[in-house]
Structure 1
Amino acid sequence: MLDIPAPRRVSELTALIIDEDPLVHELIKSAMLEIGISKIATAQNAYYAVRRCEQTRFDIVLISFNVQSDKDGFHLLEELKFKGYVTKATTVIFLSAETAPELVHCVVEMQPNDFWVKPLDRNRVENRLRHIFEVRKRLHRLYYCVDTENYSSAIYLADELLKRNELAHYFPNIKRVKGECLFKLFEFAEAQKYYEELQHEYKYGWVSIGLLRAMLAQDKLEEAEPKIKELKEREDTRFLVYDVLAHYFIEHEDYKNAYEEIKTATQLAPRNIERNRKSCDLARLNHDRKGQYLSAQNVAKYARNSIHDSPDLRLNVVRTGIDLATTLTAGEARTLYVKIERMMRELEAEFGKQLEEPLTVVKVRLLCVRQNKKEAEKLLKDKVSQEANGSIDENLEKVKAFHELGMREESLKLLEEVKKQIGGDSWSGRVVSEYIEQEKIERKEIHFTAKELGEMAKTHFKEKRFKPAYANLTQAFKLSPNNPQLAMSLLRLLTAMVEQEKDTLDEHQQSLACECAAILAASDMENDTKQKLEMFAKILKIDLANLSL
């Protein structure tokens, strides 16, 4: 017999209501008193909510998204979980007047017990509370086993509960718990069979997502394709399927597809800091400088006033901005540099001593991109340590600074040190580790930035030195793939090679030409660019109608 403590009586429970509106407090308190809960505390902002939780362990927490005076409810709930004030045993109810899909997806990820849309109705609040506590009471033993990670016992209890017809109303909750326990025990074949049977009974999104996860856990991607297509079209599963696929592709080291999936997941639920970080890591690995910059901006934006907030997040926006600027035209780069310098002044004013070396490294890189390498080298030698003495991001920035100044041995040595900083076999760790391996290869083979290589190729092209121009541009394209400007330059060069050298492209060059044409076709082209593309495609025998990236 399992030794499980009895559930607490409703009259013994403590509740905390967090909302700006005192009328919301009164309405919910009235409903709680009606069902027997009398130990009720309230808070009108996040600051006082945290203070309350420091003093009292609450069984029920109702938290409004619209706690705008210091931090929103999403960040507050994240902080309460991080500090251990909200656990699996806590009943969490999220309140919001907003129902935008982006917010709903983010809330669902935080896994509250319920989500109420304002304005609240007194009778409905009372009925929902009665239902929530009845479920907790009836399924207390099952939830206790899950909370204590006794998954085998949880499956046994679930099967026993499913024999009791009087609990038919709770069968969906019980069956969902059983499915999750099968995953925890790595019983993926059994889980697939289980969810396939549930499909005939329920149309819930969690059933379909559970089936997809079970199939992917067994490497059945091809078999799962029809299910994936179906789930991407369903409103209740669209976000989750992209997230599941991103994790699957990371497991299989398919970082290009992982990035495409996680970009969409991040757009659908933009507030998740960890997903934005993963998107930033994958963008860096896939040489998507703009995507990396935008992801870094999102991390800094959504982390503001949260437990994740730190000056390093804002500094990462500056770092990724410099990376992006090296791929832009002179005019576009100037506009971005104005933003970067403004952010740097703000960071220096707020955190000057705390960020002294990281900010110096950024200044070195800015001097490099402006071709003031003599001053950059002096600043680096005087103010920057050659040791890996900071975070991974700080040290990777040093690697770039050393490389851009031609100090390739120091750059490669530092990369080896950074690799030692990556611990465990985490999702993000694998991505960063792959990026470092990629960097080691590229730093050895490619000695200039994409922008510098582009300028060198332009000079060679004017002098009709097509082979060195091609070598420069292919290296630049390796550093900055999916760049429309480089794609256009490569197409122009390949066309000139065919026309002036009266030669045909080899298999690799033809494939590269098609890739460049596909990048341009997928971009927002002006009419003259479109006309040039059509002209180049005709000469290079590229079928624009059947291109795919």
Structure 2
Amino acid sequence: MNDIYLSIEIKKYEDALAQVELFLATPKNAEFFPIALKIKGEMLCAAGHFKQAKEFYLAVLKVQPFTWAQLGLVNSYLRLDEDESAEKLVLRLAFKPESQLAAYDLLTALQIKQNDFETALECVLMATEISPRSIRRHKAAMDLSRITHDYEIQFEAAKKIVRFAKNSIHDKPENYLNVARSGIDYAMTTDAADTERLIKQAKEYVRQLKHAFPKAEMNDQLQVISARLFYLNDEKDNALALLEKLDPENWDNDSVDSLLDKAKIFHDLGLYERSQAMLEQIENRCKSGAEQGEIFLHYIHQEKDEKTSIKRSSKELNNTAVGYYRRGDLDNALETFTQAFTLMPKSTSISLNLLQVIALKGSKLGLNDNTTKLLKNCIRNIENSNLDEEQQERYHKIRLTLDEVANN
């Protein structure tokens, strides 16, 4: 077995497969056959022989319903694009305590494959509840929450990575920086009442970083964070002044998260070409190396598209849209609130604002397919939120207007 494990460790999966076949052909090894069979299935998948893996797992399950064989079969189905079969089996496994965690991982992979990132995020969050110390799963939650624009979950996942990485080989300055960055992302999209609290938390993690890693060279990264904080406080000139001090010669050595932070502040300050160039650099880095996975690359593609079509920041969009609405310019209000909702689909206030404009336009002109889809998304977000008394009253009035539109 030692030779098999060595081949696996150095990723020589075909060699490991041949060795395990030889092991299984030797009768004196009979007591170790269950573990050897499990390894055989894993090596078939690792070597890319998914059709053989499927046939192997089905054969094993005819003899005994091993949990590992059922999970392996789900993985084989996924790789062979037999998603319906994968879903049926994995949902059954999700209800069994011994297979629940692995089942949620496979469910996450299935939903990602189908581009259902909202459901994928729900699955990975369920997995983190079962295994709260898994840094890998919290990183997956961060990447998925970026795609879904769920800034609160992104912030919480970043904090958990810091908490569970402490006193381990996973503890590094980038973890603390990512909490500060996520806190700023969240502050950019939340109500003004929460902004100060989030800024304080972002600054606290910067302080923790300096205490935990006093010798770390993080000047550029900290300047970008300071620039983003200036922008949050409407101090654009100070933010620009800090960016001018950055040394672009060092950017090739930056992490993708550091480059992403630069892309965000460049965009917010109107330096659109520099922002797009930074995102392209990240995209090329992701394609050429294994530093980040497919989920992060999907997010970068999404960021490029959104930042090309939407020039203003989420806060600017909301303020501009409110101005249009107050002047009675419902067409521009609808367009601008829709852009704000694209960047902040979890914001209750944005959802209410957009829904109100849709209801008013609908009462005059009726609803079309595009506004109906937006309306449903707004309602879903509002009804999944904890509304205060004022918001509940406002929502009730909007629904009365929508009911009148529907009855006309």
| TM-score, L = length of structure 1 | 0.66
Structure 2: distance between partners of 1:171 and 1:353: 50
Structure 1: distance between partners of 2:316 and 2:371: 22
1:325, CA displacement in angstroms?
Answer: 0.4
- Whether 2:281 is the aligned partner of 1:417: answer yes
Structure 2: distance between partners of 1:141 and 1:385: 50
- Whether 2:353 is the aligned partner of 1:458: answer no
The answer for the alignment partner of 2:239 in structure 1 is 376
1:377, CA displacement in angstroms?
Answer: 1.7
Check whether the contact 1:250–1:427 (CA below 8 A) recurs between aligned residues: no
- Whether 2:152 is the aligned partner of 1:290: answer yes
Matches for 1:77-156 after TM superposition, within 5 Å: 149=13, 150-156=15-21
| Alpha carbons of structure 1 residues 347 and 214: separation in structure 2 relative to 1, 3 Å | closer
1:513, CA displacement in angstroms?
Answer: 0.4
- Whether 2:306 is the aligned partner of 1:432: answer no
The answer for the alignment partner of 1:62 in structure 2 is none
Structure 1: distance between partners of 2:277 and 2:289: 23
The answer for the alignment partner of 2:195 in structure 1 is 333
The answer for the alignment partner of 1:473 in structure 2 is 337
The answer for the alignment partner of 2:38 in structure 1 is 176
Structure 2: distance between partners of 1:146 and 1:337: 46
1:402 partner amino acid: F
Structure 1: distance between partners of 2:113 and 2:23: 31
Which has the larger Rg? Answer: 1
Structure 1: distance between partners of 2:215 and 2:319: 35
The answer for the alignment partner of 2:353 in structure 1 is 489
RMSD of aligned Cα (Å)? 2.7
The answer for the alignment partner of 2:178 in structure 1 is 316
Higher strand fraction: Structure 1 or Structure 2?
A: 1
The answer for the alignment partner of 2:371 in structure 1 is 509
Structure 1: distance between partners of 2:205 and 2:77: 46
The answer for the alignment partner of 1:199 in structure 2 is 61
1:342, CA displacement in angstroms?
Answer: 2.9
| Alpha carbons of structure 1 residues 272 and 453: separation in structure 2 relative to 1, 3 Å | same
Structure 2: distance between partners of 1:146 and 1:496: 63
The answer for the alignment partner of 1:157 in structure 2 is 22
1:218, CA displacement in angstroms?
Answer: 0.8
Matches for 1:222-371 after TM superposition, within 5 Å: 222-250=84-112, 255-348=117-210, 351=214, 354-371=217-234
Give unmatched runs, 5+ long, in structure 1.
Answer: 1-138, 543-549
Higher helix fraction: Structure 1 or Structure 2?
A: 2
Structure 2: distance between partners of 1:449 and 1:442: 11
Check whether the contact 2:20–2:36 (CA below 8 A) recurs between aligned residues: no
1:413, CA displacement in angstroms?
Answer: 2.2
Structure 2: distance between partners of 1:299 and 1:258: 19
CA deviations on 1:399-443 (whole Å, 9 max, x unpaired) are 111111112122222222333332546483333332222222222
Check whether the contact 1:386–1:410 (CA below 8 A) recurs between aligned residues: no
1:264, CA displacement in angstroms?
Answer: 2.5
Structure 1: distance between partners of 2:224 and 2:91: 46
Matched residue of 2:21: which SS?
helix
| Alpha carbons of structure 1 residues 427 and 176: separation in structure 2 relative to 1, 3 Å | farther
1:536, CA displacement in angstroms?
Answer: 2.9
- Whether 2:82 is the aligned partner of 1:220: answer yes
Check whether the contact 2:176–2:206 (CA below 8 A) recurs between aligned residues: no
Structure 2: distance between partners of 1:225 and 1:310: 37
Check whether the contact 1:281–1:428 (CA below 8 A) recurs between aligned residues: no
1:367, CA displacement in angstroms?
Answer: 0.8
| TM-score, L = length of structure 2 | 0.88
The answer for the alignment partner of 1:521 in structure 2 is 383
Structure 2: distance between partners of 1:181 and 1:433: 27
1:234, CA displacement in angstroms?
Answer: 0.9
1:454 partner amino acid: N
Question: What is the aligned-residue identity percentage?
Answer: 28
The answer for the alignment partner of 1:71 in structure 2 is none
Structure 1: distance between partners of 2:267 and 2:8: 51
| Alpha carbons of structure 1 residues 231 and 363: separation in structure 2 relative to 1, 3 Å | same
Structure 2: distance between partners of 1:308 and 1:144: 24
Matched residue of 1:236: which SS?
coil
Give unmatched runs, 5+ long, in structure 2.
Answer: none
Structure 2: distance between partners of 1:433 and 1:168: 45
User: Which stretch shifts more, 211-220 or 490-499?
Assistant: 490-499
| Alpha carbons of structure 1 residues 366 and 143: separation in structure 2 relative to 1, 3 Å | closer
